[in-house]
């Protein structure tokens, strides 16, 4: 019998991460499902996956905390190595630069860049030994172009795009493929409070995207059909940035 592949998805209790978890569970992966604080949402997603014949391990920890990340992942990595890692956990703390607090700068860089580093460093070491793996980093249109009020978030996501490209070059010979998926405005908790009348005119398709429109691309990048794609950034933004 073929061994069941594992996918570690960070920030998977809701939104885009939960959609990615559903999609990968549907493709037969056992999920390592990370989140930070919403136990209820994570448990309800776990129940849903199991009802549909899937399986998952819940891993509540803060990806921005190196010690908590190591404590949660190292014992699992002693036993098993994920085939897929999706670095998705994150949040924004928007505000104009002149008034941005030190905390809002530090926290946003810590979750997106620090989180990527803390999780990926541990996992890629194991992938290198196995000589296989797929790493997908969820970035943002804000990392590709200018967005007022998002200097911290843009810096973090642009940094993650750079990290994606360099890591892809570094680990390509070991058959580990690293790509970024860059969503525009997607309907999740992160965007519920954004004023639709200001956002919609910026989007040629005239609507906000759904999490499933991001997760389908992630699943493709994890599949055998994407075996010659690495170091790329794929935008899913309804044409908001071309």
Residues with a catalytic annotation lie at 153
- Our CB check for ligand NAP shows the closer of 148 and 173 to be 148
For residue 169, give both structure tokens: 């070059």
Helix (H, G, I), strand (E, B) or coil at 181: strand
Q: Are 120 and 88 in contact (CB under 8 A)?
A: no
Contacts of 227 (CB under 8 A, 6+ apart): 177
Separation of alpha carbons 152 and 96, rounded Å: 10
**Spatial CA neighbour of 17 closest among 69, 75, 58:** 58
Please tell me the distance from the alpha carbon of residue 28 to that of residue 72, in angstroms, as a whole number: 23
**C-beta of 128: minimal distance to ligand NAP in Å?**
24
Q: What span, in angstroms and rounded, lies between the C-alpha atoms of 100 and 86?
A: 29
CB nearer ligand NAP, residue 17 or residue 133: 17
CB of 15 to ligand NAP, least distance (A): 2
Extract the tokens encoding 102.
């030190």
Q: Rounded to whole angstroms, how far apart are CA atoms 81 and 89?
A: 20
The smaller minimum CB distance to ligand NAP, of residues 5 and 112, is found at 112
The secondary structure of residue 186, as a DSSP letter, is B
34 or 81: whose CB is closer to ligand NAP? 34
State the residues that interact with ligand NAP by CB under 6 A.
Answer: 10-17, 34-38, 62-64, 88-91, 111, 138, 140, 183, 185-186, 188-191
């Amino acid at each position: 019998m073929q061994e069941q592949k594992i996918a570690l998805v960070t920030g998977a209790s809701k939104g885009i991460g939960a959609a990615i978890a559903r999609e990968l569970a549907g493709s037969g992966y056992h999920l390592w499902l990370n989140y930070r604080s919403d136990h209820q949402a994570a448990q309800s997603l776990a129940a849903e996956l199991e009802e549909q014949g899937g399986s998952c391990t819940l891993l509540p920890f803060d990806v921005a905390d190196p010690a908590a990340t190591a404590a949660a992942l190292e014992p699992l990595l002693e036993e098993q190595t994920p085939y897929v890692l999706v670095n998705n956990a994150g949040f924004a703390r928007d505000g104009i630069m002149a008034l941005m607090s030190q905390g809002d700068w530090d926290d946003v860089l810590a979750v997106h860049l620090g989180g990527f580093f803390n999780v990926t460093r541990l996992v890629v070491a194991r992938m290198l030994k196995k000589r296989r793996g797929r790493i997908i980093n969820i970035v943002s249109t804000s990392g590709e172009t200018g967005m007022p009020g998002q200097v911290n978030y843009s810096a973090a996501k642009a940094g993650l795009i750079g990290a994606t490209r360099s890591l892809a070059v570094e680990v390509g010979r070991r058959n580990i493929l690293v790509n970024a998926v860059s969503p525009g405005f997607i309907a999740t908790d992160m965007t519920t409070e954004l004023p639709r009348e200001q956002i919609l005119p910026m989007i040629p398709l005239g609507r906000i995207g759904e999490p499933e429109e991001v997760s389908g691309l992630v699943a493709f990048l994890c599949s055998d059909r994407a075996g010659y794609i690495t170091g790329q950034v794929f935008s899913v933004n309804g044409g908001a940035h071309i």
